[in-house]
Amino acid sequence: MVLALALLVAQACTDTPPSSEPIRSAAERGLSPTGAVAMDAALQRMARNVDAARCIAELMAVASMPREAGSPSAQAAALHVQQQFLLHGLQARIEEHDVLLPEPVEARLEMLLPMAWQATLQEPALPEDPDTLAMPQSLPVLAFSPDSDVSAPLVYVNRGLESDYAALAARGVRTAGCIGIARLGTSFRGTKLKLAAQHGLVGLVVYPDPADDGFAKGDVWPRGPWRPDAALQRGSVLDIATFTGDPLTPGRPALPGVPRVQLHEAPGIPAIGGLGVSARDAATLLTRLAGPSVPPGFQGALPFAYHCGGTEDVQVRLLLRSQWSTRTIRNVVGELRGTVDPDVRVLMTAHRDSWCAGAMDNATGTAALTTVASLLGRLAAQGLKPARTITLISTDAEEFGLIGSTEFAEAHDAEVQRGAALCINLDAVVSGGHFSSGGAPELRCFAETAAAAVPELVDFETRALGSGSDFAPFLHRAGVPALGIDSSGPYGVYHSLYDTRAWMRAHGDPDGSRLARVSLAAAAIAFSAADSTILALDVQGLARWVQAESTELAAHLDTAELRSLAQRHEYITRAASRVARTISAVAGEDPDPVRLAGANRQLATLGRAVRSASETGAFRHAFLGVDPASGYAALTLPLFRRAVALPHGPERSETFAEHLAALDRLAQALWQIDASLGAARP
């Protein structure tokens, strides 16, 4: 019986079909015969209007402005984006929030034994790259690191993962009471600090190892695209796997009159401090470590054998001090109001703030956003306005912990809950020539429609999204499905002084053609979702994805649990198939769009059905969470995973029942959508 049920579940849990499957007909993509003709005409007009020279000019304009969140110069960039939105005919406003943004005022990393030495903590300017001479450099204190002044032995912890600490413990290497040094990558830097504190470290130094993005990959900047050994990596360590936004106003927008918690009560702030150093300075430290040779997988590309340390013969001092105060951040919001149902919205996000010039991260996304505004505005001026609203959000303080996007989601919670259908996120979108797009499986239909303008969009890839960029507050709070678009290539200057206009001209996008394609793709997907006759989410793709993600976990279920799961999967499959058939049938009848408003609102809010009923915080999605070991990566079916990790008993039953309840709500929502579509028929 167990085997039979397991086979039933495995049969239901088929993989998402490959992207090479035939593109759906116009009706299957929610386009009426009249709507299909109008949509193709609009998308082709956009394709003719996009201009690579204007794209690269806009990128260079944005990247010329220092944009660190909360800095005096950041306001100019916000005004620039607002002016671009207004210039292209969008409604545009700036929304301000006063949020906690610690500003580093002192940082020092010293070696006390076996020699006196002090880390540089600044990146040398390059005569070949004028931006490195002009851009201000902040100290590389990892943002939200608590103030500290500690002296202790130094220990090398590789990536700072749980498995790394286990490997060190197996070799008898001391970590408690030490200052760690870890190479970046594999996990979010905030997760590294969190685990370091849990293992008793009193501070953590992180560095970019040349094995990952430096000379081991190829020529370094300014000769090649990879990271020079004197480059730093700045960043935040706010725990974005469990919290995003302003730590002083958790769950509420940081607006005048909103109560604020005390700093010692603020969530997401790590227990120990962290500092970024260059590979060059890290080498000075690592080459002096004694103790055992490192375990397999610990050796980087610096030209000596790495040792674990943790011994008394290498002592370092880590001093960190920041000014802990609130500063003003600015989200710039541009809107093209819908003509039929303006309360249903397509969101597009791109953070504007950066560390130093941030030409790739994220002047590219900002320039793409303003280019989208120009393409949509030109269509609107010609009378081609979408049925639903397109909202462009240029966010601030993303680099500090997704703060601007979270503040927007909190301040506009009612309208997001009521009608945010999807989020298109543009973050660090051009670093080379490899174009890709992907995200939630239910968004595939819009990419297929947009392929009339950008044919490569038919290769839309299903990707489970976790955290680390501005889609996260919308995805995890309200279940808003998200997608991303990029054109990628070798990129070694992330979060450093060398992410500049000169680097972009040499390696990222010499003539603006890559940015033009990304911008056109984003605009085309947004318009296809906002103006399709029916907001045709690929509900069958969503059902297949949920089932496929369940396959491996189903092996841990007993007979009764398997039966319950198989039953829900059958319900969802049947409901999704029915909705897909009804969408095609109704769209093919050239229906009145006004009659479809109710059904389209239900489609737009389908993601609200998959929120966990027991969770009340910012992470409520029943099918997607954030992997705590990574801090970035998605954790699929988190309730299901939590259940099978528990022994049989009441807690396991309750947790598994929550997952089943989410499946039930999804099936019920699909049947309601089908009924509403049927009622809208002539």
Q: Which tens digit of pLDDT belongs to each residue from 419-447?
A: 999 999 999 999 999 999 999 999 999 99
What integer pLDDT is reported at residue 620 of this predicted model?
Answer: 92
Q: Is the alpha carbon torsion for 242, 328, 352, 207 positive or negative?
A: negative
Sequence-separated (6 or more) residues with CB below 8 Å from residue 158: 164, 167, 182, 183, 294, 295, 297, 298
Please provide residue 128's backbone torsions phi and psi, each rounded to the nearest 5 degrees: -75, -10
Nearest to 643 by CA among 544, 565, 543: 565
Q: d(Cα 323, Cα 639) in Å, to the nearest integer?
A: 40
Q: Is residue 181's pLDDT more than 60?
A: yes
What integer pLDDT is reported at residue 616 of this predicted model?
Answer: 61
Q: Tokens at residue 568, please?
A: 């829900």
Q: Tokens at residue 257, please?
A: 């009159």
What integer pLDDT is reported at residue 682 of this predicted model?
Answer: 73
The average pLDDT across 51-58 equals 98
Q: Is residue 147's pLDDT more than 90?
A: yes
Which DSSP symbol is given to 456?
G
Please, what is the end-to-end C-alpha distance for the chain in angstroms?
Answer: 48
Mean pLDDT of the chain: 95
What integer pLDDT is reported at residue 9 of this predicted model?
Answer: 45
Q: Is residue 11's pLDDT more than 80?
A: no
Q: Is residue 388's pLDDT more than 50?
A: yes
pTM over 0.85: yes
Residue 14 pLDDT level (bands cut at 50, 70, 90): very low
What integer pLDDT is reported at residue 614 of this predicted model?
Answer: 67
Q: Is residue 1's pLDDT more than 60?
A: no
Q: d(Cα 663, Cα 640) in Å, to the nearest integer?
A: 11
In contact, 248 and 254? CB cutoff 8 Å = yes
Q: Enumerate domains of the chain plus CATH numbers.
A: 2-19+537-679 (1.20.930), 33-100+327-531 (3.40.630.10), 103-324 (3.50.30.30)
What integer pLDDT is reported at residue 54 of this predicted model?
Answer: 97
What integer pLDDT is reported at residue 21 of this predicted model?
Answer: 60
Q: For residue range 258-307, what is the model confidence (pLDDT) as tens digits? A: 999 999 999 999 999 999 999 999 999 999 999 999 999 999 999 999 99
Q: Looking at per-residue confidence, does 371 or 9 come out higher?
A: 371
Residue 588 pLDDT level (bands cut at 50, 70, 90): very high
How would you label 370-402 residue by residue, b for 16+ Cβ within 10 Å and e otherwise? bbbbbbbbbbbeeebbbbbbbbbbbbbbbbbbb
Q: Please return the burial class of 22, using the count of CB atoms within 10 Å of its CB with bins 0-12, 13-18 and 19+.
A: exposed
Q: What percent of the chain has pLDDT over 90?
A: 95
Q: Tokens at residue 322, please?
A: 């920041």
Query: Taking the CB of residue 23, how many other CB atoms lie within 10 A of it?
Result: 14
Residue 23 pLDDT level (bands cut at 50, 70, 90): confident
What integer pLDDT is reported at residue 179 of this predicted model?
Answer: 98
Q: Kindly report which listed range (206-220, 475-489, 617-631) carries the lowest average pLDDT score.
A: 617-631
What integer pLDDT is reported at residue 618 of this predicted model?
Answer: 79
The average pLDDT across 350-355 equals 98
